Amino acid sequence: MTKRVFDLIVLGSGGAGLSAALAAAGEGMSVCLLEKGPHIGGGTATSYGTIWAPANRLAAQAGLDDDVAQGMAYAQFCAGGTALDTNLATYVNHASRVMDRLMSWGVGLELAIGLPDAFYPHGPGSCGDGRRMIQATPIQRSAMGEWAEALRPAHYCPPGVSWGDVARWGGFANRRNWDAQELARREKEGWLAAGQGLVAQLLVAFLKMGGHLQLNAGATELVFSEQRVGGVRIPSTDSTFEARHGVVLACGGYEGNAELVQRFEGLPNWLNPFAPTNQGDGMVMATEHGAAIYRSAVNHGLLVGCAIPTRENEFFSIGLHGMPYPGAIAVNQQGERFCDESRFQEVVHAFHHFDRVKHRFINLPAHMVFDDRYRQLYAIAGAPPGQAAPDWVAQAPTLEALSIKIGVDATGLLKTVERFNQFATDGEDLDFGRGQSAFSKSTAGDANKGKYAQLGPLDTPPYYAIPLRVGGIVGTGLLTNEHAQVMHVRGHPIAGLYACGNTAAPTDTGVGYQGGASIGSGVIFGCLAAEHAAHARH
């Protein structure tokens, strides 16, 4: 058995783990970051990479007003009374300070101007222009040195393109008009942005401070020493990593663990959007020693997706990248629409409807249905716009033939499309108000189409259908306090044990999910965990 000793051990190389590790190194601790998989970055690398940080210094420097009270009002509105007050206040109060600390250690950050507090723009304290949304400044892959090829691949934002760029360039639906030469240049020069950029920025800063990283090192057990957590064991490599001042669990959630998903999420069409290695290890390791778990009342941190069979059923976020665009609708097995498809949170909410007479989820299974005009204009599951639909997409010359292929009621589907086409012609969805919400107006749909940004008829054969799945940030995790310490079921912190990111429950954000709040929470509480461990050693 090999044994190594550090001040702090951090498990997981997503945004939460990297921030905890970097902050610990910044506090002068020796740190080892252990990553279970072969790739660096977890779900953070494949994300849009934004951080929601109210009243931050970058906004102030740009002359954009904001204050903590406004940020607090918005965070409280989002949480709807379901967050723990202390943790919510900790997020808001420390956001700006943590961003400053990251930048002081060399992490390049900038405002993602153009990205509003889009999830609840009607909420008190909401900001309309992106002054609270922070993203990584672009960084070249070569800066990662020997780790460059280990960065987790991403496919939502093209290489070197940030979510802020996407907003400035007219949104994802306008991809056919993006500057192809500029995209090619960024790819050729190895630029990284969005989630990959954030991971690279954090990693490079961590390595510069002498941090130690090991891949393919999945810890499965905590080691206790003198009544406190003193390290982790990795049976696969027969090794133990001792931690003088604590262990930070930043292993993501249990998104890839079907049994835990069934136990806590309760939707039958779940698909993991993050790394397959996110198996709930942090929750299992900690509960084994009496850690308390906390379940969010309703989980709104979910996305609508589809599986890409040619990429091992990888999750693709079609609820943001496709379904809001004109010419696509979502239907249930009765062939009926059931929500405003331009707002993915409405779709997820409608998935939960349980029919008390038929005794089943009434809107599952569900399909996204679209026509050939849609295919000509928009990217299907990330492929360049205008390409032939992939083989795994159901296709038929008529809606009747399509309905038979996908097991949907034909009469229902024809009636639905006829009615929807009328709405699309009139420019108003009388059933679900598609495109009317502030979120849809700012963030979904094809801005080129003006009044018809989210509404278009399905009238150009052939017709296509893709089965819908749900996946996202899990709603249950370890109960933590304002220092990111893991709480015991008896109500006291477990000495030497911290959790952040999706390993910790969303006690700071509660049920309401605002873009940037997930990585924001991981980064802020990761930093606070390291600070607490560093101060506790004196």
Of residues 14 and 457, the one with the C-beta less far from ligand FAD: 14
List contacts with ligand FAD (CB under 6 A).
Answer: 11-17, 34-37, 42-44, 47-50, 156, 163, 218-219, 250-252, 273-275, 277-278, 281, 303, 317, 473, 501-502, 515-520, 522
Of residues 219 and 466, the one with the C-beta less far from ligand FAD: 219
Report the alpha-carbon distance of residue 454 to residue 436 in Å, rounded: 9
Which amino acid, residue 516? G
For the beta carbon of residue 426, count every other beta carbon within 10 angstroms: 10
Of residues 341 and 429, the one with the C-beta less far from ligand FAD: 341
Of residues 50 and 421, the one with the C-beta less far from ligand FAD: 50
In the complex, least distance from residue 53 CB atom to ligand FAD, rounded to whole angstroms: 10
In the complex, least distance from residue 513 CB atom to ligand FAD, rounded to whole angstroms: 8
Sequence length of the chain is: 538
With residue 52 as reference, give the H or E element that holds it.
strand 51-52
Of residues 7 and 429, the one with the C-beta less far from ligand FAD: 7
Which amino acid, residue 256? G
* Helix axes of 399-406 and 410-426: crossing angle, nearest 10 degrees: 130
In the complex, least distance from residue 286 CB atom to ligand FAD, rounded to whole angstroms: 11
Of residues 44 and 70, the one with the C-beta less far from ligand FAD: 44
CA–CA–CA angle 272, 277, 283 (5° rounding):
90
Which tokens go with 159? Answer: 């290489």
Of residues 49 and 160, the one with the C-beta less far from ligand FAD: 49
Smallest CA-to-CA distance from 92 within 512, 516, 532, 508 is with: 508
In the complex, least distance from residue 347 CB atom to ligand FAD, rounded to whole angstroms: 15
Pairing of strands 212-214, 31-34: parallel
Of residues 330 and 504, the one with the C-beta less far from ligand FAD: 504
Q: Which residue has the tokens 């306008």?
A: 174
The DSSP output letter for 40 is B
In the complex, least distance from residue 239 CB atom to ligand FAD, rounded to whole angstroms: 12
Report the alpha-carbon distance of residue 281 to residue 506 in Å, rounded: 17
In the complex, least distance from residue 39 CB atom to ligand FAD, rounded to whole angstroms: 7
In the complex, least distance from residue 516 CB atom to ligand FAD, rounded to whole angstroms: 5
In the complex, least distance from residue 37 CB atom to ligand FAD, rounded to whole angstroms: 4
Which amino acid, residue 92? V
What are the C-alpha distances in Å from 471 to residues 51, 271, 282, 320, 340?
20, 5, 19, 13, 19
Which amino acid, residue 302? L
Report the alpha-carbon distance of residue 36 to residue 237 in Å, rounded: 11
